[in-house]
Amino acid sequence: MNPVRALLLLAVTCTLGCAHYAPSPLDLDAAPAAYRARSLSDPALRAALDSVGIHEGDPWDDWSLAYAAWLMRPERARLAVEVRAAEAGIVSAGGRPSPGVAGGVEGTFSGKDGTSPWAVALSGLFRLEFGGKRDARIARARAGVLAVTLRAELAGWEFRTWVRQLGEEWSAAAYTRLGEERLLREADKVTEAYERRYTEGVVGAAELARIRGERDAIQAELIAARRVETEAESRFREESGLDLWFLRLRLGSVPPPHCDSVALAGSDSLSSLALTHRPELAVVLAEYQESEADVRIAVGASWPDLDLGPGLLYDHGAGKWTIGFGLPGIPTNYRGPLGEAVARREVQAARVAEVQTAVLADVDAVVRGCEAARVALEELLPMVESARDRVLAASAARDRGETDEVPVAQGRVELQRWQGIEAAAMDRRRAARYALDRAIGVWNRGTDTQKEGDGE
């Protein structure tokens, strides 16, 4: 063949079939701009929320707000790209060995017998794989896609439950601060009443100092409660990227469901639910499928491949066709890699059992926590009612003229303290319910919802 034509053929082949490099410079201003522009009204965010059933105009709840926060997280985009990269690996795994071309030229420079001095050979190269190597590679790539996808879902679930916990801590801190403010107002009334009594000479300076000291202690508790609320708000905003929506939501929302309705199902039913819904268990199962595919690949490596090379030979004036064959590598040391793959599969099987056991233990622990929170709250209710009855009795005595406003104000202070203890117990019961949702892998979104999937 003419050398010029050969070069032209090579150029055309590379133009049509070869890849070309395209640079992709980073835009270092994009991420900061996106961070500063985060908003729940962003059109792209609204479209993403609509795709998971969170429509504009619907009332916000903790699930939808946590999901919105997750959609704005930068790692979500990275995880999505990792999934696409893993999916691209399926195409690579399914590729068959590329064919090739081999050639050779021979020239006779002495002992000529009148025939052509040249011998030219041209043959194709084809590799046949045995032992299910290609199927094993595809299975490994698909298991990898599943594992990466489930890890992304696990990251989303963990972030959203973390946002829920932070929001609940912020909400509980706000309730505590409101309770301390109410308690301080009642303490101010008691202090004012004692100051009037002191002026009238009814009580002494020591008694007034004691009352003022109690009032100052309540104010100190209020200062501490405000600090805790501010810190909880800062953590929530920093982690979620959301503004004051969550606090307004929690303070004006219907109280979330408690453990009672779900815990009645029993530990066995909840354990079965957890074993099918906990995302980390799905991840380790996908990782086991990866290790299973690794064993298939190691088994396939014990089978030799076969190279075929059919071609043409111009042998010193005589045309011939040829076929060559060979073994590119005779596997003699496959037992070591195979043994390693089998051992890694056993490790992953043990990991699955380990996570299952941890899930079951987690469910048992949170069920006990739910029961303890319920009992603690029930034990507090009579004390709160008793404090309320004392306020009513003091008010009735005041109305009959038997006493003044001081016993009523003191009773209200006592009642506010008991109500604060009751609110804390209710917070613990609510936190126990959220812990139960996390333990079974199901986010309960309302008092009438017994089972609500995560909706990834």
3-state SS assignment for residue 145: helix
Phi, psi of 317 (to 5 degrees): 100, -10
> Domains in the chain, ordered, with CATH?
74-107+116-440 (1.20.1600.10)
Phi, psi of 8 (to 5 degrees): -65, -40
Phi, psi of 241 (to 5 degrees): 75, 5
Phi, psi of 124 (to 5 degrees): -90, 160
* pLDDT per residue of the chain (456 residues) written in tens, 0 to 9: 444 455 455 555 555 557 777 888 887 878 788 777 777 777 877 888 888 788 887 777 778 888 888 888 888 889 999 999 999 999 888 888 888 888 888 887 776 676 788 888 888 888 888 889 899 999 999 999 999 999 999 999 999 999 888 888 888 888 899 999 999 999 999 999 899 888 988 888 999 899 999 999 999 999 999 999 999 988 988 888 776 555 555 544 444 555 666 556 667 888 888 999 999 999 999 999 999 999 999 999 899 989 888 888 888 778 888 888 888 888 888 889 999 999 999 999 999 999 999 999 999 998 888 888 888 988 999 999 999 999 999 899 988 888 888 888 889 899 989 988 998 888 888 888 888 889 999 887 654 333 334 444
Tokens of 385: 């009612």
Instruction: State residue 322's pLDDT score.
Output: 86
CA dihedral 391, 397, 399, 402 (to 10 degrees): -140
Render 222-255 in DSSP notation, one character per residue. Answer: HHHHHHHHHHHHHHHHHHH---THHHHHHHHSPP
